[in-house]
Amino acid sequence: MSEATKISLPALYGKKAGMTRIFDESGKHIPVTVVQLIPNVVSQVKTLEKDGYNAYQLAYFEKREKLVSNPLKGHLKKAGIDKTFHRFAEIRSEEVSEENLGKELSLEVFTPNTFVDVTSTSKGKGFAGAMKRHNFQGGPAAHGSKFHRRTGSIGNRATPGRVFPQKKMPGHMGVETKTIQNLQVVEVNEEQGYMLIKGSLPGSKNGFVKIAKALKK
């Protein structure tokens, strides 16, 4: 697909493939995360007049045709997309155009040495105690102590006679939307379909990540 039939937006979606390391020209070791580049296609154009805001809806992550529901197939067919994508997301834009419907995203914004913010769902850790989940110090480790890894006191006396909301307690850890800011793009290889980003990204292997232009750079 030529660049004339592509659209440039400040964000795209990829797939986390894992981590590795590379060496720069001076031989310095650089840890990087490999992001698999997958097609991102504009499946809907939302306008201020019709929807109340301007945005492009992106379709990504292709599945076999029989695994995609008929309503989604009809939605993609209306946009002139012949692939059976399964996941959708929106990217806000100040100006939108119906001419971009069905166009694939370009990578011209994400050149090497640019900075990006990466958003994904963190790994699930299951039910965790207060020390692991909230970095509590814990109690004495001596033999006579009966307070080692417990939470400790969580309330007051008869007034207020209740536990305040948002109290740090044991519970489900992980599976939260996390954003890591100001990560550097090291390499973009569109032919082989991968991007190298310096450092680690939230989430597990084969998880989807949103890569956006850095807001604070």
Overall domain count for the chain = 1
Is residue 165 situated within a structural domain?
no
Is residue 163 situated within a structural domain?
no
Alpha-carbon gap, residue 210 to 15, rounded angstroms: 9
pLDDT per residue as tens digits for the range 63-121: 999 999 999 999 999 999 999 999 999 999 999 999 999 999 999 999 999 999 999 99
pLDDT per residue as tens digits for the range 174-196: 999 999 999 999 999 999 999 99
pLDDT per residue as tens digits for the range 48-64: 999 999 999 999 999 99
Query: Which CATH number is 115's domain given?
Result: 2.40.30.10
Is residue 27 situated within a structural domain?
yes
Is residue 11 situated within a structural domain?
yes
The pTM score is 0.88
Average pLDDT in the chain: 94
Count of CB atoms within 10 A of residue 16's CB? 22
Give the pairing type, strands 11-23 and 6-7.
unpaired
Categorize the per-residue pLDDT at 133 as very low, low, confident or very high, splitting at 50, 70 and 90: very high
Q: In angstroms, what CA-CA distances link 76 with 8, 40, 82, 96, 213?
A: 20, 13, 7, 19, 27
Is residue 33 situated within a structural domain?
yes
Is residue 158 situated within a structural domain?
no
Is residue 47 situated within a structural domain?
yes
Amino acid of residue 56:
Y
User: In terms of residue numbers, what domain contains 87?
Assistant: 3-124+173-213
Is residue 132 situated within a structural domain?
no
Res 26 pLDDT > 70: yes
Amino acid of residue 200:
S
